Amino acid sequence: MKYAIASLKSISPYSQSKNYETEPRQGESMDDRSRRTWRNHLHTDESGIVFIPPTAFKNCLSEAAKYLSISIPGKGKATYTKNFEAGVLVAKPLSLGVHKDKVECERLYLPSDGRRGGPKRVWKYYPLIESWQGDVEFIVVDETVLQKSRDDDKTVLETVLIGAGGFIGIGRFRPRNNGFYGRFEVLKMHIHD
């Protein structure tokens, strides 16, 4: 087992949309309740500091591996997809170092049922983080993904992570979901035991 520490930096805004339930106050409209509670969409620790969940990076990486379908040399048509899905884990969240009360709000006129092209639209409120940066630790159980990529001197893990940040993304309105938020670049990667 090895550890890959990737230094990541956002190249587009990031937004979260964690599901939550709240009871309306007496006489409060749906819009008023949304304006009052939109920060509940954020993932925060016990101190109110916003973090990116580890599953966001894990799922982003697995989606990119599936999309890229890079062939494993000497294994016929086999690709690295299963190696990423079962052999790479992200166990720790990435703290953004910002308190939830300092996060800006984005007001959008969106389909009420959340489906693209829906007939009824309502105002919705989501958190918006303009930029972020930090180190994410990938636990690599299947060291096959640490082989050098055929195209350059990067490992397959780094190649897939670069693709993940460029065209899959994390959070709400990411490229994988036809958006453009949540994109990031890989500044460097360090692998150790």
Name the residue among 137, 113, 127, 118 with its Cα closest to residue 61.
137
Range scoring the smallest mean pLDDT among 7-21, 76-90, 144-158 = 144-158
Query: Which helix (H) or strand (E) element contains residue 83?
Result: helix 81-87
Q: Would you place residue 172 in the very low, low, confident or very high pLDDT band (cuts 50, 70, 90)?
A: very high
pTM of the model: 0.93
- Domain extent, residue 39, equals 2-192
Name the residue among 184, 186, 187, 152 with its Cα closest to residue 168.
184
Please tell me the total count of domains within the chain: 1
Reply yes or no on whether the pLDDT at 157 is more than 90.
yes
Strand order in the sheet with 88-90: 88-90, 133-140, 2-10, 184-192
